[in-house]
Amino acid sequence: MQRTDKVWWLGVAFSGALMVLLGAYAAHGLETRASAELISAVETGVRYQAWHTLAMLAVLVWRSSCPVAGQHWVLVLWSLGIACFSGSLYLMALAGLNLGIVTPIGGLLLVAGWLVLGGVAIGADFSARPPHNPGG
């Protein structure tokens, strides 16, 4: 495993932990401090973060068995998308900050990640398999 992949795995693990914590807070602690609309915003952020964290996990697994040029950019776009889209919703609900255009930019980054994933998959040679090495 490349050193950069270890950083990606750590980031995915952190994202997973953060989404569980924020989801639990939205479900059990936020109702006394925020409106239903803001709680819904956090839940939306958690939902998008969850799906994209799982998708990043899948790309990392794919990358470990079949590295293809461009997989890195999918991870970068989704990470930035999560930070902008979900992060701006969290900051809006938890800190009262309105970051305006950051949320839709985050959404565009998430979409761009999916489009790049499609391009990477189209360009990948799935017939080329590394030799099987049962001894490790």
3-state secondary structure 110-131: HHHHHHHHHHHHHHCCCCCCCC
pTM as predicted: 0.88
Interval 71-83 mean pLDDT: 98
- Can you give the pLDDT at residue 51? 98
Closest by alpha carbon to 97, among 106, 88, 108, 86? 88
Calpha distance 60→6 (Å, rounded): 10
Contact 19, 48 (CB under 8 A): no
Calpha distance 42→91 (Å, rounded): 9
- Can you give the pLDDT at residue 114? 98
* Position 128 pLDDT exceeds 80: no
